[in-house]
Amino acid sequence: MAVPAPQTFAYKTFVNTDGRGTSIPVDVYIPETNSQTKLTPVVWVHTGGFLQGTRKFVPPHFLRAVAKHNLALIAPDFRLCPQVSIFEVLEDVTDSIRWTLDPQARAASGFKSDRVASDKYILGGSSAGGWPALLLGLSLHGQAKRIPQPPSAIFSVYAITTVTKDLAPFFYEPQKPLSWAVDGKAIEKQPLEQEGHLAKCLDANHQLLEQSSVKIRTEAPADSSPVRAALYNFARQEGNYPSLILQDPSESSQVCTPSLVKSKAKAAGPSVLIAYGDSDPKVPHSQSQHVIEALKSIGYDDKSLHVIEEKGADHLFDMEPDKEPLVLVYLILYTSPKDGAEVVSYRGHESEAINAPVKEDSSLRGFGMTFTIGKGNEICCQAIASIVEEHLLGREVEPLFANMGETWQLMASDPQLRWIGPEKGVIHLATAAAINAIWDLYTRSRSKPLWKLIVDMSPEELVKCIPFRYITDAITPAEALKILQDASKGKADREAEMVAKGYKAYTTSAGWSGYDDAKVARLTRSALEQGFNHFKLKVGADVDDDIRRLSLMRSIVDDPKQMPAGRKEPSPGSLAGKNAGPTGCVVMVDANQVWDVQEVIDYMEKLAHLRPWFIEEPTAPDDVLGHAAIRRGIKHLGIGVATGEHAHNRMTFKQLLQADCIDVVPIDSCRLAGVNEILAVMLMAKKFGKIVCPHAGGVGLCEYVVHLSLIDYICISAENERNVLEWVDHLHEHFVYPVSINGAGCYNVPMDAQGGYSIEMLKGSTEDYSFPQGYYWKTGSARTAPPPEH
């Protein structure tokens, strides 16, 4: 869903010491629709410790919430400390709320839209921004008397809430050199010197408003940057944060949120959401806990106080980019003021499934899925509808099943729809959903899971399903038939082996970008206990950070003392060519396309001593010659290359294989156009001697790809000693036939006769989350609780 561009206005003007007037801006985000429905404004106070930051530093999930939940996001700037005190900050935030609720003031500043409601609002903020939200929203400070009405709800995210010496002694304790505790260990940083840029920011005459955006997790500014990003770290180093935000630290009691809450007679204020990470080194979570205790002491209960403790999370945990697979999303659900308001959270994956039921004949249904990472779903949905309406509606299903090769050509070769590909991009994603739905319908009609339906086909039947157009220079139908016939020998034994043991998996769950060291260590150890011996880590943001994280993972998986009791040693053949450590554990790294060709080679030189098996998606997925150069450039390091989850089609894989670019083939069940095209790629991989290790880092992909790996081993490659299949442990609870892992770190084989391709979602999940008519989108809450994090 598109994030609207902000409109910028001036909500107030203050007079400088030199007599000049300076306007303070506010950004307004409203949904880009023609609807005239009144939008509830959410006034969000930015992070930065009152020392730095701007209105532009908005968490991504807040921006997405604008269109998803029909809200108006109001993001004001305010004057910064130490040039002013927290009391002027409170004055500015108060004035931004007054402006939000005053249509005449809004119009006078140039904001003439009447879509934003003026009779209710929600108030919140992150880090230091959560402090004014609590002080003003709960009417704990005199400035609140200037606000026409209290908010419907308040949210405070990893907030600073007090600087009194009794409740916040850490703000008074110098840290020289500055260190943050991570997993019980101190990470030393270079001392920040009070000279040059830093001295300028501390000058009483320095600019009162920040002029550029703060980068996420920036520790110190570039020499030429006006950004104040070092100030909070400097304040913690010197133990002088209270004096920087309060001209007189003895006034700290006037803004001590916990004490002020306790002085209230009873809980008569708005609902409150307080969220924090329990591993926050920048703002200790005791800051939130003191407020929670105080609110409970005056009568706040589970209906009026909502607490989210994010295990293992540090500061700014909700600022991670869209690649982060699990994020905490804050959704503000408002009702009429007389009914009060509720603050709701849910844990959800950024990828969103699109289910495409194709044919309904009594109880027989087929489901297909493709996925995005949020934005663009409506485009995929429209493309699916175009394919289905043009080629499937009204057709008898048995003729489709009788020749699945012709059915694939029918779906993928529409002369007009093909024009917006061809065979790539959105139209190919949509084709995958439709094709896979037909396979799902076909296999359910035969009361077999998909893998079993295909395993039971003869080589002649199977080869008819495969689209050979454009790839016969790499593999001919005759060559494919010979591979399938050769693999027929021993097929029953391989099937029985898989049913008994399962298919070997590797885990990505321990290595996502944005995880701190403590979380990487905890999840790595947990994966060892679950039987995994292959681990993948995301890399590419910072080489020193990646070396540290990969070293941490290596130190755990290579340590015999970390191995679980009764662990079965992996076979030597399964580790061949993988740079396995002394315990038989293997690590892989994945860059998600961030580098140019030479950057990959240089980067991998620096990671080589940590012995990854391969680098996945090192550069642009279309750059075949670039991948060839990379493989040549790092071959002497003993590191392989894997790419394919964004390879558009069988032709791209053909070139990657012909040019000897890759060692591992990570096919994607939704990027390629369904089972047919995937069979073509697996046959080419067999011919070129490469192993298939499917990508499964997204919603429903694990459910899909276990079928594909079983087909590859039993029907095509006839060997899988070195193959591993990606496993990500989230969102399986939304599926009727979810996949699972056994104690040996292997996928259990899907055996449900009516499970089909395993992609049918639970009725409750589709009713809750189908956009925009789903229960969740209408009410802001799901009817079933999300599962706990592992």
Point out the residues that are catalytic: 538, 695
Tokens of residue 398, six digits: 């048995």
User: Which of 710, 668, 662 has its CA nearest to residue 689?
Assistant: 662
Q: Are strands 271-277 and 153-157 parallel, antiparallel or unpaired?
A: parallel
Place of tokens 């199977």: 462
Note whether 641 and 617 are within 8 A (CB).
no
The 10 Å Cβ neighbour count of residue 213 is: 14
User: Which of 665, 632, 626, 630 has its CA nearest to residue 646?
Assistant: 665
Beta strands across the sheet bearing 305-310: 7-15, 21-29, 71-76, 40-45, 122-126, 153-157, 271-277, 305-310
DSSP classification of residue 172: G
Element (H, E) at 306: strand 305-310
The 10 Å Cβ neighbour count of residue 599 is: 15
Q: Which residues contact 255 (CB under 8 A, 6 or more apart)?
A: 86, 87, 90, 131, 135, 141, 162, 163, 246
Measured in whole angstroms, how far is the alpha carbon of residue 505 from the centre of its chain? Answer: 22
Residue 332's DSSP bridge partners are 343
CA dihedral of 749, 755, 758, 763, whole degrees rounded to 10:
-140
Note whether 109 and 79 are within 8 A (CB).
no
CA dihedral of 246, 247, 251, 254, whole degrees rounded to 10:
-50
User: Which of 626, 564, 635, 567 has its CA nearest to residue 595?
Assistant: 626
Tokens of residue 314, six digits: 């540090």
Which amino acid, residue 688?
Answer: F
Q: Which residues contact 199 (CB under 8 A, 6 or more apart)?
A: none
What's the Cα-to-Cα distance from 343 to each of 120, 300, 612, 789, rounded to whole Å?
Answer: 15, 14, 44, 21
Place of tokens 């554990």: 585
Angle at 776 between CA 773 and CA 777, to 5 degrees: 50
